[in-house]
Amino acid sequence: MPSTGQGSGKNKGSKGFLGNERTSLFHRLMDRRKITNPKEETKSLLHRLYLLAKILPELADKRDLGGYYESLFQKLQRRHQGEGITGLLLLYPSYVIHVIESSSDVLYSVIQDLRDMQQQARPLLLESKILVMSHNIPGRLFQRWEYTLLNIAAKRLDYTLQREPIEKIITECLTALLKLGLHMQKAYTESPNDPGSVLDSVPELIIPQDLIGRLLKAKELLTPAQFLGIYNASLNIIMDSELVWPMPEHILPAIRK
């Protein structure tokens, strides 16, 4: 252990690459990584959130939802400076699918806002559910955050789809959304276009409204309130020492016998 008191040079704590006291190999490795790539070490980890919800039937203009989230994200970016927000809000005639990429603080703020919205007299979104939250993703699918209106008629679930397990439907929806993001990423790289025109070229990747309705009824998916309740719950961790100490009897007398 390095000594912090006065004495000879060999008794003093050694300095790390950045001049701070280095007390372990971990600190030495961290010093080296800060020098080789300081920006990478200080940036926030990236996460992706998938949300589903039903639109308030009385909402005349679906674009009001796009304006609502534009205003919300402006507030969040002022509060969390340097943490970019990208994603896509798909506005169906009756439902929404919202994919958001940002830091964990921003995403939890979005979930909290959605929970608080449910308590209003006339919430813009109803029956909200969290499809999944992906942590520490390697990169962004979307260049920016935007929304688009979809003109898709509602369909009735066929018998085969009704019998499919919910886990399979969730997997298929996530796969379609990931493919949609990759397609949009490639399309924007070649030439920036309106998201609506990009989506028109891949109708097979647009999740049908009936599937969204089925997912919103699934008990396997959490509401924003349920998600935050689990996230904010205190952890009761039992240490190994609590399981073996104090011993029910002394060990030495048992060994002597």
| Residue where the block lists tokens 């025109």 | 197
Strand partners for 89: 98, 147
**Is the per-residue pLDDT at 8 higher than 60?**
no
**Is the per-residue pLDDT at 239 higher than 90?**
no
Q: Work out the mean pLDDT of the chain and round it to a whole number.
A: 77
In this predicted structure, what is the pLDDT of residue 199? 78
Q: Distance between CA atoms of 67 and 73, rounded to whole angstroms?
A: 10
Q: Does residue 42 or residue 96 have the better pLDDT? A: 96
What is the rounded end-to-end Cα distance, in angstroms, of the chain? 42
Q: Distance between CA atoms of 78 and 108, rounded to whole angstroms?
A: 16
The residue-averaged pLDDT of 214-237 equals 84
CA-based nearest residue to 53, from 164, 207, 227, 215: 215
Helix or strand holding residue 229 (H, E)? helix 224-232
In this predicted structure, what is the pLDDT of residue 191? 66
- Structure confidence at residue 18 as a pLDDT band (50, 70, 90): very low
In terms of pTM, does the model score above 0.75?
Answer: no
List of domains in the chain:
9-41 (no CATH), 45-230 (3.30.70.100)
Question: What single-letter amino acid sits at 15?
Answer: K
Q: Does residue 147 or residue 152 have the better pLDDT? A: 147
Q: Distance between CA atoms of 51 and 224, rounded to whole angstroms?
A: 9
**Is the per-residue pLDDT at 10 higher than 60?**
no
In this predicted structure, what is the pLDDT of residue 14? 41
In this predicted structure, what is the pLDDT of residue 249? 58
The residue-averaged pLDDT of 136-143 equals 88
